[in-house]
Chain A
């Protein structure tokens, strides 16, 4: 994702301490300017509670293969959370750091500016993990099935992050300002979340739309998570789709990221 210089003159403990300090300050900023926490954590959790409150969503449906609509929504809301963090919460601060000259200032110190990207990645990954855990546990408490294949679930989550976070870095490369990054992030988020089935369950989509959904990173993640919920290890297709996004956008972000 980002090139971490390993040839620093700093001794190892100092390097760790320096990275820890950067992560701590990024976490403080995430807490004090909680756009990411609201859209990436509070909003999907709120939707989980709202969906559970709808009686019809709690009825098993033959159309959905005997699952409840609520159960279908758990993976969708997990993807909602990771996508919000990847497309908005990750790129907005990075674009503003370039705009403010923070990346430039950092490149005059022994610590390379790529560490700030890595720290943003760590903070958003942590938020995504916490949000996913809350949605998953909350879903189980409210009657959704627990993932019967935990390893498949974790792998799906990791690949989802690996596919979406580089897209966020690419947004930060293209946008000049934090506001611009926010706009681009939304423009990417809303069509993609449609394919995840937020407004229209994918099970009810026409075949062509379903196939298209499988090719999007959010659709592929929902498939992979749903399968691991039901007990199978996710099939190769969605995992390969996510890996392809991770590789392509990872390389693109690496090539195109602008430091000033």
Chain B
């Protein structure tokens, strides 16, 4: 996977004031099955917070407890200081939710659905503006059943946002979208956050978490195994990076090990693998060129969230195109 780490301009500062979401020692079992063992995290207002993990890790159960759809067996949950059960009416007013796998009646039109959900809230969004932002404006008079999977998904997101929530919980929002639609959805999420909405994003797409999230909680077997910025998690997985190439002629390792960027040189058959930090590729290629050696077939292996995940849980996330081999 060659995803570049996105440098975020926004530092995920310390949580000040009332956190948007605060979960402490959440536990939820179904019979003998422990869906969520012990999950704690806190999301600052205005943050895009990712919940990442393989299928069955407990992501969705965590979210369902957080929004009051399920009662936890133990632990406390606060949404902007409110209890999702005791204050459920107020919580439903300020938390917009997009659940996985929610369909709508086939023979209702997009506009009719939006107008209906709009009437549920005290201070709803403008339907025209929302459909415009989600690219649904030309579909307002179409039946739900005539929408593509991506359009249905966007309508689902629209319904989560129509109450102008302070917190938006989006579960697998981009699953089933084509790459272009997914990038559009990401832009939309950033746009919503810029308006001050806190976003909790459940996903198993690495690229999505790396691109969007200020912080990510990796969940596995019902527990938070790591919680940090995507970049820090990736760095934690492996310090530095490595370059693999085929030299046009033999050379002495010393040439490279003397470079400040290089921490190690390894031979693998005819290939050479150099590990190090900083501008590693440039340093290696230029130094070899000066010695009359051409580096062919250069591959940069940069660690990312996927590596972090594999390292921390020993599992791959699944459903991932172009997994790290």
Q: List chain A positions with a Cβ less than 8 A from chain B.
A: 5, 7-11, 14, 17-18, 20-22, 24-25, 28-29, 32-33, 93, 96-97, 100-102, 104-105, 107-111
> Which residues of B (63-119) have their CB < 8 Å from a CB of A?
67, 69, 89-90, 92-93, 95-97, 99, 101-105, 107-108, 112-113, 115-117, 119
A sample of 11 more A-B contacts (CB under 8 A), given A8-B89, A108-B97, A110-B92, is A5-B89, A9-B122, A20-B119, A22-B116, A25-B108, A25-B112, A29-B108, A33-B107, A100-B103, A105-B102, A108-B92
Q: Sorted from nearest, which 5 A-B pairs have the closest CB atoms?
A: A101-B102, A108-B97, A100-B103, A32-B107, A21-B119
A219 to chain B, nearest CB (A): 35
CA of A14 to CA of B116, assembled, Å: 12
Residue of B nearest to A107 (CB): B69
Binding site for A on B (CB under 8 A): 67, 69, 89-90, 92-93, 95-97, 99, 101-105, 107-108, 112-113, 115-117, 119-122, 159, 163
Instruction: Answer whether A110 and B116 are a contact pair too, CB < 8 Å, given A100-B102, A102-B104.
Output: no
Given A21-B115, A102-B104, the answer on whether A9 and B120 have CB atoms closer than 8 Å is no
A109 adjacent to B104 (CB under 8 Å): no
**Chain A minimum-CB-distance residue to B156:** A105
Task: Please tell me which one of the listed residues B90, B95, B103, B108 contacts residue A101 in the complex, with CB atoms under 8 A apart.
Answer: B103
Q: Are A110 and B159 in contact (CB under 8 A)?
A: no
A100 touches B104 (CB 8 A): yes
Chain A residues lying within 8 Å of B121, measured Cβ to Cβ, are: 109-110
Whether B99 pairs with A110 at a CB distance below 8 angstroms is: no
Per the bound structure, the CA–CA distance linking A28 and B159 in Å amounts to: 20
- Given A21-B119, A28-B112, A111-B120, do A105 and B99 touch, yes or no (CB 8 Å)? yes
Give bound CA distance, A232 to B18, whole Å: 69
Residues in chain A near residue B89, CB distance under 8 A: 5, 7-9, 110
Assess whether A102 is in contact with B92, with CB atoms less than 8 Å apart. Answer: no
B60 to chain A, nearest CB (A): 12
Q: Which residues of A contact B69 (CB under 8 A)?
A: 104, 107-108
